[in-house]
Amino acid sequence: MSEEPPRVLVVDDDPDVALLVKTVLERRAGCVVELAEDGRTAVERVTAFRPDVVVTDIEMPGLSGLELLAELRRTVPNVPVVVMTAHVSVEYAVSALRAQADEFLTKPLDNARLVESVTRLIEEGRRRREEAKPREVVLAIGAHPDDVEIGVGGLLAAHAGAQDEITILTLSRGARGGDADNRQDESLAAAEMLGARLFMKDLVDTEISGGGSTVRLIEEVVQEIQPTIVYTHSSHDRHQDHRAVSEATIVATRRVGTVACYQSPSSTIDFRPTRFVRIDHYLDDKLRLLERFGSQTASREYLEPDFVTATARYWSRFGGGTAVEPLEVVRETAEFIGAHEYTRRES
């Protein structure tokens, strides 16, 4: 179960019954419970409260419980609904089940059964919403091996945890920074850890262009995987390859809804992030990703765990938590993935 306390909306025009259900669920199931005195009020509160489960009476003035159930199935189909009634007839049970109730309870309520049913349906509802949630298609673009892992390794681990589809595009094999074959093997090991697909191109290290052939290489990958989110270098960077890849990516991903730039060790003071992504639970994964690049760790202090951790801790002053990866958002026509926490920079 998620660390967030489960939320239950109880709908009943009898305040005594509503208070009883609220008290039982709060004390025995650790739920956060909100009350609605009728079906119409419940419809208004569902959007703001976002319950994990709705518990409703059948016979209420205005919008009945079964009418409310029909409306909930139309607007929030993945939220489980428990129907309560003082009538024990087969007709009422059949009516509730035909309206797609998840559970049918009779009054006076058996508190133990109420708790068991709601607890079970909380898990079921969250599983339904997780399965129904659209998966992101992520493309992370770097000039050299280890660039994307340094910049957004924690965020990519979070995407992997959310079962998003991840592709890494590395435009050179980094021959100026070590043995190209070794660096390619290290990149493959990191991609395997993420469950990511790896495209590794063979542009000349330190001579990558910001147009022409680089744009076409990126466009080919974009066309093949159809990403919804792209991460790439910032233009605010001392390394010419990083600036060139940033420029080419902005052109090649012009039809992608969300594009954001990550920080590199060579970023300049003009790097101005507008999103701060909390990676508290993924910092260890990022460190393990960077361990895959063993040929670089001896000579690159920015790959040392203490350095990476300190950098993430520094940015947490803006994003909260204990570890953050900063992003410059170039374009955002849709929200970033809901599974991760993003903090907008205050102007």
- Please provide the distance, in angstroms rounded to a whole number, between the alpha carbons at the two ends of the chain: 36
* pLDDT number for residue 199: 97
Cα 35 to Cα 201: distance, rounded to the nearest angstrom:
58
For residue 207, what pLDDT band results from cuts at 50, 70 and 90? very high
Least confident of 8-12, 121-125, 242-246: 121-125
For residue 37, what pLDDT band results from cuts at 50, 70 and 90? very high
Is the bond into 6 cis (omega within 30 degrees of 0)?
no
For residue 27, what pLDDT band results from cuts at 50, 70 and 90? very high
CB neighbour burial string for 166-195, b if at least 16 within 10 angstroms, e if fewer: bbbbbbbbbeebbebebbbebbbebbebbe
Backbone phi, then psi, for 121, in 5-degree steps?
-75, -25
Average pLDDT rounded to a whole number, residues 251-275:
95
Cα 266 to Cα 330: distance, rounded to the nearest angstrom:
19
In the predicted structure, residue 204 carries a pLDDT above the cut 90: yes
Q: Which residue from 204, 221, 216 is spatially nearest to 144, judged by alpha carbons?
A: 204
Domains and CATH numbers, the chain: 7-132 (3.40.50.2300), 137-344 (3.40.50.10320)
In the predicted structure, residue 343 carries a pLDDT above the cut 50: no
pTM of the model: 0.66
* pLDDT number for residue 31: 95
Least confident of 7-21, 22-36, 163-177, 333-347: 333-347
Q: Which residues contact 333 (CB under 8 A, 6 or more apart)?
A: 257, 258
What tens digit of pLDDT does each residue of 95-132 get? 666 667 888 888 889 999 999 999 999 999 888 877 77
What tens digit of pLDDT does each residue of 74-93 get? 888 889 999 888 765 656 65
Average pLDDT rounded to a whole number, residues 192-211:
95
For residue 338, what pLDDT band results from cuts at 50, 70 and 90? very low
* pLDDT number for residue 89: 60
* pLDDT number for residue 182: 93
Cα 165 to Cα 195: distance, rounded to the nearest angstrom:
8
Kind plus residue range of the DSSP H or E element containing 36: strand 32-36
Share of residues in the chain with pLDDT > 90 (%):
69
CB atoms within 10 A of CB 146: 26
167: tokens are 């592709």
